[in-house]
Structure 1
Amino acid sequence: MDWRWTWVLGLALIGPAALPAGGGERRQPELRRRQAREPLLTTGAASLKASPRRHAPVLAQLEAGEPLELVRSWWSPSGRRWLQVQTAGGPAGLARRGWLAG
C-alpha cells in the first residue's frame, strides 16, 4: 500500500475524534450572568428577622420579587445557613437590614 493512502486512512480515522459532538459547531451556549452589583430577588414571601435565630422577632414581611443586597452569610452551630440582607428601600426610601434563613 502506498504511504499516501496510509496517511489519508489515518487522518480519516483520527480526525473525527477531534471534532466536538454536533458536527463541529463551536458556538458556546448563551448564558445570562448576574452582574456583581445587580440585586438578588426574593422568590417568595419571606420574614426578615432581627437576628439569625429561628425565634427572633420579625422586622418585616418581604414580598416576592423584592430586590435585596447580600451583606454576609453565616452558618449557625446547628448547621443552618443565614443570610444578612439589606432591602433596596421601602416606601419612605429607608433601607432595612435583617436576616433570612438560607
Structure 2
Amino acid sequence: MPAAAAALRWSWLLGVALIAPAALPAGGAERRQPEVRRRDAGGPFLSGSDVLLQGSPLVEAPALRHLEIGTPLQLLRRWRCADGHEWLQVQVASGSALPSDPQPRRGWIHG
C-alpha cells in the first residue's frame, strides 16, 4: 500500500509539473505592464496604408488578414521589441466588418 501511495503522489507531481508551464507565456512573464488603451479615449484611427494583420508581434508570424487603406482600427496596446521595432495590437472597429465576417478582427501590425 505505501508503494501505491508513493506512485500516486509522484504521478500527481509529474502531472502538475507538465501542465503548469503551459499556462505561462513563452519566454517568461513580462516585467512591465503592457500599455492598454483607455476606454474613454478618442475614436478609431484609420490605417494609412495596406497592411497585414499578423498573429503575433514577429516579422515571421503568420498573416491573418489583409487590411486595406482606410480600415478603421482600435488600438489595444503597443509593444516595443528588443531590436527597437514597435508593434501595435489592433482590432478592426465594429461596424466596419459584418458580424458574420469569418476573418479575424484582432491582431498585430508593424508600427
- TM-score between both structures, scaled by the size of structure 2: 0.56
Whole-angstrom CA distance in 2 between matches of 1:96 and 1:37: 19
- The runs of at least 4 consecutive aligned structure 1 residues that moved more than 6 Å come to none
- Bigger drift between 50-59 and 35-44 goes to 35-44
Which protein shows a greater Rg? 1
Q: How does 1:32-51 map to 2 (within 5 A)?
A: 36-51=41-56
Partner SS state of residue 43, structure 1: coil
Name the % identity.
43
Q: Which runs of 5 or more residues in structure 1 are unaligned?
A: 1-34
Tell me the distance in 2 between the aligned counterparts of 1:62 and 1:81. 18
Aligned length: 68
Q: Report the CA distance between 1:37 and its aligned residue.
A: 3.2
The aligned residue for residue 76 of structure 1 is: 81
Q: What 5-or-longer segments of structure 2 have no aligned partner?
A: 1-39
For the pair 1:96 / 2:105, whether they are aligned, the reply is: yes
Q: Please give the per-residue CA displacement for 1:34-68, whole angstroms capped at 9, x wherever unaligned.
A: x9231010011000000000010000000110000
User: Partners of 1:48 and 1:57 in 2: how far apart?
Assistant: 9
Give the whole-Å Cα distance in 1 for the aligned partners of 2:66 and 2:84: 24
Q: In 2, Cα distance between the equivalents of 1:77 and 1:69?
A: 24
Q: 1:59 aligns with which of 31, 40, 64?
A: 64
Amino acid at match of 1:97: R
The whole-number CA distance in structure 2 between the counterparts of 1:37 and 1:76 is 26
Using the alignment, how far apart are the partners of 1:79 and 1:58 within structure 2? 21
